[in-house]
Structure 1
Amino acid sequence: MITFLDRSTRLIGSRGSRGLAAVRPIPDHLEPPRPREIRRPAPPVRRFHPWIGPLAGVAGAGVIGGALLGGFGSMDAGRLGLLLAGEIVFLLMFVRRRHAAPLPPPLAAVDGPSGVDAPSGRAVAGDDSNGESSFERGVRDIRQTDPRFDPSRFAGYAGMVFRDAQSAWMTRDLRSLRGRVTPEMYGELQAQCDRLRSTRRVNRVERVEITAEITEAWQESGRDYLTAHIGGSIVDYTVDEVDSLVDGSRTIPRDVQEFWTFARPAGFNSWMLSAIQTS
């Protein structure tokens, strides 16, 4: 597999004005969003107004006092009791109707169905105020000069270039890559091929099982840029001129996590590999 002369080097080539691509681990599983607990206010406890009791007492006292003073001298005890009870009930109903607190309005459905948070409209990291991610914005910019551009089709092209580059690397002959890598990248790769040839070593790459996914898209200075994440596994080892193992394993696959950046002049032009970054 293509390796760097300096093991500490993580990037060869150019990504325009951008630095290293962000390496973000992908979780094994995504937890579903947890519904936010809604604390509903307890129903109000109906209490009599503090002055209802004294008012009823005063009313009752007035009636009783009138009776004692002879105002109801001609009224028997039964009628007097009914009159007193009716007057108290009337006062209670009047005050309760006047001072009863209204029920709280039902909660508006601002939190989505079943209490699950609804989209708030706030942009996530890498998004603009309209909710468009930087990747989507980059694809839209590229399509302004190339309406037929399809990120999924380009991912297939990136995977093909990766495999072809490994084949050229094994034969130490990069001529098949001309027209698909920038002059700067071609020079970098040729220097490493020359080193292998001078040390009489051959790098072998077998059982290539990779996938490519476009992770970045942008325009700058009249050029289009795309970065593809290359992930998977390969069997990668180095032998000398008598086929003795020098480095790696002939049987054990190793993990591949790389970012390959392609560039072109904006418009209907060919994409060329401009940078390789290892994670």
Structure 2
Amino acid sequence: MPGIEETDMNFSQRTRGIVRAIAVVLSLAVPLVIAISSADARVGGGFGSGSRGSRTFSAPPSTTTAPGTAQPLNRTFSQPGSPGIGAPAANGGGFFNRGGMGRGLLGGLAAGFLGAGLLGMLFGGGMFSGLGGLSSIFGLLLQIGLIFIVVRMAMSWWQRRHTPASAYAGGPAVGPGTQSGFGSAMGFGLGSGSSAPLEIQPADYEAFERLLGEIQAAWSNEDVARLHTLATPEMVKYLTDDIQANKARNVINKTSDVKLLQGDLAEAWREGDTDYASVAMRFSLVDKTLDRNTGRMVEGSETPSEITEVWTFVRPRGATWELSALQQTN
């Protein structure tokens, strides 16, 4: 009957309109969520950055302070299999540039879907022209899910392929200088997974805590010259890039009231004339991002937040400790 057919047609059109609207929201939300998840204002920008000598692509052992796993270094000059700190890559990080393999692939996929949908709308074909109904929309969403799974599997395969076999072969060897149960006034101690051939003295722990505060202060003041005295040239490059990114957004990140709550040694070792120490640290700080012109807080809070990260320090023989790498924990 004509009336029923007209009603069915209107209902079908409304259904397709609703589904298209949902698809538009999803296509816009995916890259936005990715961008938000990869953004972090404090020192390091939420990225795993720097180098850990020959152990750059090895996971630091878990500790009491950081019982989970440290995220991989996705901003690094080092190359898999090469000892020591590598030279800067021409494109600022090569394959793992900035956000790493996962963010790059997922961001590219999201941008591709978004671009295809918007182009379809611009040329009059609708957000997903040619899909022809609700079942096709669900089919597209299923394909997106399958692609996501394939990408995650590829990421896991790539990480396993480029991680040295020794990375998960057990904890570091016990050396003659290990001081089991050592604790200092700053809350540092040797964690359950901490035993290493390089002896770490109380003065070293004091240096690590001091660097935590001084690097945060230099970052807040955007004092690049000071950062050069506290971190390796590689880490200074990443921090400077992040400062420039904040300037492009017309904001400045301020961290204050930094207080070490707990810390322990993950591993410490020597390569030639260079000493390395990876330390898990749980600390509190006030982290806020301000508008450069008005001083108005646009991100963050006046309330201190707790952070747990693994910081790796490097010390050439006879020199002082510097920040060499920074990793978030899971």
Question: TM-score, normalising length from structure 2?
Answer: 0.45
2:211 alignment partner, one of 134, 146, 161:
161
3-state secondary structure, aligned to 2:295: coil
2:297 alignment partner, one of 227, 245, 250:
245
Could you tell me which residue of structure 2 aligns to residue 17 of structure 1? 54
Could you tell me which residue of structure 2 aligns to residue 2 of structure 1? 42
1:24-66 Cα shifts (integer Å, max 9, x gaps): 4559xxxxxxxxxxxxxxxxxxxxxxxxxxxxxxxxxxxxxxx
Cα distance in 2 between the residues matched to 1:159 and 1:236:
18
The count of corresponding residues between Structure 1 and Structure 2 is: 169
3-state secondary structure, aligned to 2:60: coil
Pair 1:155–1:131, CA change in 2 (3 A): closer
- The 8 Å contact of residues 151 and 214 in structure 1, kept in 2 or not, is answered as no
Matches within 5 A, 1:146-185: 150-185=200-235
CA shift at 1:262, angstroms?
Answer: 1.1
- The 8 Å contact of residues 269 and 275 in structure 2, kept in 1 or not, is answered as yes
Which amino acid in the other structure matches residue 42 of structure 2? I
Cα distance in 1 between the residues matched to 2:195 and 2:174:
13
- The 8 Å contact of residues 155 and 213 in structure 1, kept in 2 or not, is answered as no
Question: TM-score, normalising length from structure 1?
Answer: 0.53
- The 8 Å contact of residues 177 and 198 in structure 2, kept in 1 or not, is answered as no
1:108-158 Cα shifts (integer Å, max 9, x gaps): xxxxxxxxxxxxxxxxx6365999979554225xxxxxxxxx522111111
Could you tell me which residue of structure 2 aligns to residue 115 of structure 1? none
3-state secondary structure, aligned to 1:179: helix
CA shift at 1:177, angstroms?
Answer: 2.4
Equivalent pairs: percent with the same residue? Answer: 27
Cα distance in 2 between the residues matched to 1:214 and 1:249:
30
1:224 alignment partner, one of 275, 287, 295:
275
Which amino acid in the other structure matches residue 264 of structure 1? R
Cα distance in 1 between the residues matched to 2:309 and 2:254:
18
Pair 1:220–1:199, CA change in 2 (3 A): same
1:226-261 Cα shifts (integer Å, max 9, x gaps): 1122212111111112122211112x2211111111
Could you tell me which residue of structure 2 aligns to residue 206 of structure 1? 256
Pair 1:218–1:131, CA change in 2 (3 A): closer
- The 8 Å contact of residues 50 and 324 in structure 2, kept in 1 or not, is answered as yes
Could you tell me which residue of structure 1 aligns to residue 284 of structure 2? 233
Q: Which has the higher helix share?
A: 2
Pair 1:201–1:152, CA change in 2 (3 A): same
Higher CA-based Rg: 1
CA shift at 1:222, angstroms?
Answer: 3.7
3-state secondary structure, aligned to 2:311: strand
5+ long unaligned stretches in structure 2: 1-40, 67-169, 179-192
Could you tell me which residue of structure 1 aligns to residue 98 of structure 2? none
Pair 1:16–1:194, CA change in 2 (3 A): same
Pair 1:130–1:17, CA change in 2 (3 A): closer
3-state secondary structure, aligned to 2:239: helix
Cα distance in 2 between the residues matched to 1:190 and 1:175:
10
Pair 1:256–1:16, CA change in 2 (3 A): same
